Amino acid sequence: MITLQGLRSCRGEVTLPGSKSIANRALLMAALCQPGQQTQLTNVLRSDDTERMLEALVALGVQVEVADGHTTTITVTGCGGQWPTIPQALDLGNAGTAMRPLIAVLAATFAQRTDHPQCVLTGDARMQERPAGALIDTLRQAGAELTCLQHEGFPPVDIGSGMAHGMISIDGSASSQYVSALLMALPLLPGDSVLQLTGQVVSWPYIELTLSMLQRFGIEIHRICRQEFMIPGNQSYRSPGEYWLEGDASAASYWMAAAAIADGPLTIHGVGSESIQGDVQFADYLAQMGAQVRVDKHAITVSKGPLKALDADLNAIPDAAMTFATLALFAKGTTHIRNIANWRIKETDRLTAMAAELRKVGAHVVETEDAISVTPPEQLTHAQIATYNDHRMAMSFALLGFSDVGVTILNPECSSKTYPNFFSEFCNITQNS
């Protein structure tokens, strides 16, 4: 556990670790490049999620060279989807950014083999509670042989072969990761496909991020309309040679919020106006609340301002939206965070977890199926915050260290999923009065 209390300033500079969402996409795309092509990925975060993807690629026979350190350079030699080894099982922990795309990509690439290999994709206890039914159903409709070994629609999933190109439809209202997985897999099929998205698609910026990265890796996708894509088949991923991973925009939200509460200014390096991540929109919402915000190409600088409550539909940035729930304790009025139903299928049920922990410190909280409203108390109460083994719960509640009563965070080590050094950096850059 860690106790934070009476912090007063958050000034200077901080450099973000590379985005794990970009990292796991880039690692897989690099592995899918034409046989023998090498891709040098720089600013790759070594975290729990990226380790699971790296372990999976190595188990599939991909040649990977890794430099030492938390943030490092990784060179991947492509195999064109012709995996040198088909392991009996791949354990992906709780890494959704590894599980979802690998389900689709393996279903697509196994379809091109004649020996009908099978491989079980599994994960930890929480991953086995995180639904993947919409993706699995769509792949089955396309002919893939997928068997859920314990509960229908959930990992572990036995991946067979047989996926075919054609007209494919998926409900995008549960997770954008399903859509990104299909966008990565469908170009590998021998013929053309049309991908139709139904429902209110969640986290659109992550889909745009995937499309941008696919273009960098030589994949051609044509947008027919906002929710329909034509994807030529028989494509080959092509290495861009070198690929720099920008900083984690979701992680930037904790630093931006801290600087908005405390004496600054703080400059966050690694994301900015040229970022391909949607979570940089956090800066815009923060400015609406009253913070002083300057956005440059690759950096964001934030200074303290009198904060007023936020009322916003944050469907597009659900990860960064968590930071607003704790920042609400330092704002005047009631903060309403809307259209975030997919919080419930993340590392934990984040809506229920966030409501429970905010109430511990005295906040008045109203939780609905897809929203949360937070009213700060007149006086915060010190509490021990359960993190539910969820990295974003742990890092979001670090903001309460700027209160007089402080906070004790249980299992802060769970932040290693995406930001292993977060709490050590946070303690270094914040200062007591």
Residues forming the annotated binding site?
Answer: 20-21, 25, 96, 130, 175-177, 203, 319, 342, 346, 350, 392, 417
Sign of the torsion angle spanned by Cα atoms 352, 354, 360, 366:
negative
CA distances from 179 to 25, 76, 158, 196, 216 (A): 13, 24, 20, 10, 18
Q: Which phi and psi angles does 12 have, rounded to 5°?
A: 120, -135
Preceding omega of 265 cis (within 30 degrees of 0): yes
CA distance 363 to 124: 32
Taking the CA atoms of residue 423, residue 428, residue 430 and residue 433 in that order, the dihedral angle to the nearest 10 degrees is: 130
Q: Are 271 and 245 within 8 A, CB to CB?
A: no
- Nearest 10 degrees: CA dihedral of 256, 258, 263, 269? -40
Amino acid at 245: L
CA dihedral 123, 387, 316, 364 (to 10 degrees): 150
Dihedral, 43, 47, 52, 56 alpha carbons, nearest 10: 30
184 exposure class (CB count in 10 Å sphere: 0-12, 13-18, 19+): buried
Kindly report the three-state secondary structure assignment for every residue of 288-302. HHCCEEEECCCEEEE
Strand order in the sheet with 364-367: 311-313, 335-338, 372-375, 364-367
Q: Catalytic one among 171, 279, 319, 390?
A: 319
DSSP states of 62-89 as a string?
A: -EEEE-SSSEEEEEEE--TT--S---SE
Bind-site residues for phosphoenolpyruvate? 20, 96, 130, 177, 350, 392, 417
CB atoms inside a 10 Å sphere around CB 76: 27
370 catalytic residue (yes or no): no
Beta partners for residue 25, in sequence order? none
Q: Do residues 177 and 211 lie in contact, with contact meaning Cβ atoms separated by under 8 Å?
A: no
Q: What gap in Å lies between CA 137 and CA 214, rounded to an integer?
A: 24
**Among 278, 282, 277, 274, which residue's Cα sits nearest to residue 255?**
282
Active site residues: 319
